[in-house]
A and B are shown apart, each in its own frame.
Chain A
Amino acid sequence: MTLSRGTKILLGIFALIAGAFIYVPLGIILINSFSTNKSLTWPPTGFTTEWWGRALDNEGVRSALLTSVIVALCATAIALVLGLLISLAIARYRFFGRESISLLIVLPIALPGIVTGIALNNVFTSYLGGLTFLTLVVAHATFCMVVVYNNVLARLRRMGGSVEEASSDLGAGGWTTFRLVTFPLMKSAILAGGILAFGLSFDEIIVTTFTAGPGITTLPIWIYQNLFRPNQAPIVNVVAAALVLFSIIPIYVAQKFGSDDERAGGVI
C-alpha cells in the first residue's frame, strides 16, 4: 500500500500529538514528585527532592511492592497453567460447548471490575470464611487467564497440528510431543501472555479492594490509602514515576523474547 508523502506526514504529526497526549500526564506525575506541595496542587509551589529520599527508605512502599509482585506472580502462574490447558483443549479437540468457552473465559475481564469484585467478595465472605491472601490470588488469576489463553491459542492455530502429528508419527508419546515439540514452539507466546497477566494483576485496584484479606497491602492499595488519608501524596508520585522507569525492564524482556514472529502481535 503506497501512501502519498502528504498522508505519511499527516500521520506522523498525528502520532506526535497522540504521543503528547500520552506523555504530558506522565510528565505531570514526574513534576509533582519534586513539588513542595503536599496535596499535588497545580502549579507546583517549589522544588524539593525530599520525597524521593523519603520514598527510598519507606518500608511501606517496599513491602507493598513485594506483596504486589508476589500476588502477581502467583496469579500469573495459575493463569499460565489454566490458560495453557484450556487453549490446548480448544485448539486440538472439537467438543460440545467449545464455542462458548471463548465467551466464558473472556467474561472475567469483560465484566466491570466492580461486578467481579462484589460477586467474589460476596461468596468469599458469606460462604468461604472470609478474605485472605488466597482469595486475592484466586480473583486475580480468574481475570488474568484470558490473556494467556488468547496468546497461546493464536500461536497454536498458526502452528497447526502437523508438527505434532509428525512427532507422534516418529513415535513420540503425547507428553513427549508436548515437552519437546509443542511447548518450545509456544514459549514466546506463553511469555507474552505471562507478562500481560503480570501487568494486569500488578496495577489492579477495584477487584483487589473487594477481595484482599486483612493486612494485605498491594501497591495500588497502598497508593489509595496514601492518597486518601495522611499527608504524603508526593511520595505516591515518586512511586509512580519510579514504576514507569522500571517498566522498561519487562517491556525489554517481552520485546527480546517475543521477537520470533510479530512480537507485538503476540503481546495482547
Chain B
Amino acid sequence: MTTTTATHRGFWYRHPGLRQGGLLTAPMAWLVVVYLGSLAALFLTAFYQVDDFTGQVVRSFSLKNFQNLFTTSAYYQSVFRTISIAVLVTVLCLVIAVPLAFFMARVAPRSWRPVMVALVLTPLWASYLVKVYAWRSMLQPDTGVIAWFLKPLGLGGPGYGYLGIVITLTYLWLPYMILPVYAGLTRLPDSMLDASADLGAHSGRTFRSIVIPLIFPSVVAGSIFTFSLSLGDYITAQIVGGKVTMLGNVVQQTYVTNLPFAAAVATLPVIIILLYLLAVRKTGALENV
C-alpha cells in the first residue's frame, strides 16, 4: 500500500454503487432468495389443494382454503383469541417492564446495573420447554404454587387455560421487553431531564412529556418481540392451555395432513404482523429490535 493516493482511491472509490452492491449482494440474496422465496412458495401453496387419498399436494388453483377458514366459526374465533392473547401478553410485559427498567436505569446505583441486567437475562438460558413445564407446577389447580399463595386470600389458582397461557407467555417474553426499554432509558440524556426539572416540571410531568416519547421506539421494539412471539406460539398452549388452543396449534396440526390449509391459516398472522411493522416503521422501532 505504498502507491499514491490516487491509486488508493481507485476502483471502489470511483464506483460507490458497486461498492455498496458488493456489500449488499450476499445478505440480500440470502434474505430475498432464502426467506422471501420460501414465504412466497408457502403462500402460493395456500391456493392449492390436497389429495384426499394420498395426502399429497395437488397444484390446482382455488380459494377453497380461505373460504373454509372464514366460514368455520371455530377458526376465526381462534384468530381473535390468539390476537387477544398476544395483545394481553404485550400489555402485561409493558406494565412490568417499564417500572422495572426505570428502576434499573434511573433509580438503582449505577454500579448495580450490570448485575441487574444479568439477572434479567438469566431466565433466557433456562430452556423454553423447561420453563413452560415449571409453569405447570405454578398454575396447577389446588396444589400449585400460585394456588398455595392465593389460598390465604380465599382464592384459587388460575389453572390451565386462557389465563395460564397469558401468564406463561408473559413470563417467557418479558426479558425481550425489559432489555430494549432499559437500553432506551439509559440512553436518555441527563441534561434533558434536568432541563425539564429546571423548567419547573415535576417528575410525573417529566415522565409523561419527556421520558415516554423518547423511549417509545424501544417500547415498540419490545412489543414486536412479545406480540409476534405470542402470536406464533403453540407449544405453550399444548402444555398449560388446558383445552384452549391458539392459531399456531391449527397450523401445527394441519401442516402435515393439509399443507395448503395450514399455509392459508399462516397468512393471517403474517398479515397482522406486516401491518403492525408498517405502522411502527416510522418510529424507528425496527432498528431497536
| Residues of A in contact with B (beta carbons under 8 Å apart) | 1-4, 7-8, 11-12, 14-15, 18-19, 21-22, 24-26, 28-29, 32, 40, 42-43, 81-83, 85-86, 88-89, 92-93, 95, 99, 101-116, 118-120, 122-123, 126-127, 138, 141-142, 145-147, 150, 153-154, 168, 171-174, 176, 199, 202-203, 205-206, 219-220, 223-224, 227, 233, 236-237, 239-241, 243-244, 246-248, 251-252, 255, 262-268
Q: Is the CB of B128 within 8 A of A205?
A: yes
Contact between chains at B113 and A168 (CB < 8 Å): no
Q: List 6 A-B contacts (CB under 8 A).
A: A83-B27, A122-B41, A150-B287, A205-B235, A223-B130, A246-B125
- Asked if A173 and B8 sit within 8 Å, CB to CB, the answer is yes
Compute how far the CA of A40 lies from the CA of B259 in the bound complex, rounded to whole angstroms. Answer: 35
Indicate if B248 sits at the interface (CB-CB under 8 A): yes
Choose among B5, B136, B289 the residue with the greatest number of A CB atoms under 10 Å from its CB: B289
Cα A111 to Cα B132 in complex, Å, equals: 21
A108 to B31, CA, bound (A): 9
Beta-carbon contact of B287 and A154 below 8 Å: yes
B182 contacts the other chain (CB 8 A): yes
Tell me the interface secondary structure of chain A in the complex: helix
The answer for the CA separation of A235 and B77 in the assembled complex, in Å, is 39
Residues of chain B lying within 8 A (CB to CB) of residue A88: 23
Q: Which one, A21, A42, A147, A267, contacts B96 given CB within 8 A?
A: A21
Closest-by-CB residue of A relative to B99 is A14
The residue that B114 contacts in the complex, of A220, A240, A255, with Cβ under 8 A, is: A255
In angstroms, Cα B34 to Cα A126, docked, is 14
With A21-B96, A264-B113 known as contacts, the answer to whether A224 contacts B129 (CB < 8 A) is: yes
Residues of B near A26 (CB, < 8 A) are: 122-123, 126, 134
Contacts of B252 in A (CB 8 A): 114
Set B145, B228, B251: member contacting A111, Cβ < 8 A: B228
Report the Cα distance A248→B124, complex, angstroms.
11
Residues of B within 8 A of A114 (CB): 232, 234, 248, 251-252, 266
Q: Would you call B156 an interface residue if the criterion is a C-beta within 8 Å of the partner chain's C-beta atoms?
A: no
User: Which residues of B in the span 35-50 have a Cβ within 8 Å of any Cβ on A?
Assistant: 35-39, 41-42, 45
Check if A1 sits within 8 Å of B193, measured CB to CB: yes
CB <8 Å contact, A220 and B137: no
Whether B243 sits at the interface, judged by CB under 8 Å, is no
B7 closest partner in A (C-beta): A173
Chain A CB within 10 Å — which of B36, B118, B182, B248 has the most? Answer: B118
**Cβ contact within 8 Å between A42 and B143:** yes
Chain B contacts with A in 123-159, Cβ cutoff 8 A: 123-131, 133-138, 140, 143-145
A136 to B134, CA, bound (A): 28
Chain A residue with minimal CB distance to B196?
A1
Does B200 sit at the interface, judged by CB under 8 A?
Answer: no
Against A, the Cβ 8 Å flags (1 = close, 0 = not) of B227-240 are 01101111100000
Give the chain A neighbours of B23 by CB distance below 8 A.
85-86, 88-89, 93
Q: Given A29-B126, A40-B133, A110-B228, is A1 in contact with B287 using a C-beta cutoff of 8 Å? A: no
CB-based contact A119/B38 at 8 Å: yes
B186 close to A205 (CB less than 8 A) = no
Residue in contact with B145 in the complex, picked from A42, A85, A265, CB distance below 8 Å: A42
Complex contact A18–B122 (CB within 8 A): no
Specify which of B26, B206, B228 is in contact with A85 (CB 8 Å cutoff): B26
Interface string of B146-178 (1 = CB under 8 A from A): 000000000000000000000000010010100
- Chain B residues lying within 8 Å of A268, measured Cβ to Cβ, are 176, 179-180, 183, 289
B278 surroundings in chain A (CB, below 8 A): 103
Given the known interface contacts A248-B118, A268-B180, the answer about A25 and B96 at a Cβ–Cβ threshold of 8 Å is: no
Q: Is the CB of A14 within 8 A of B231?
A: no
Residues of B within 8 A of A95 (CB): 17, 20
Within the complex, what minimum Cβ distance (angstroms) separates B167 from chain A?
Answer: 9
Q: Is the CB of B34 within 8 A of A142?
A: yes
Q: Chain A residue with minimal CB distance to B148? A: A43
Which residues of the partner chain A approach B32 to less than 8 Å between Cβ atoms? 104
State whether B36 touches A104 (Cβ < 8 A).
yes
Whether B27 and A206, one on each chain, are in contact in the complex, defined by CB atoms closer than 8 angstroms, is no
**Minimum CB–CB distance for A265 against chain B, Å:** 4
| Interface core residue of A106, A109, A115, A237 (most chain B CB under 10 Å) | A115
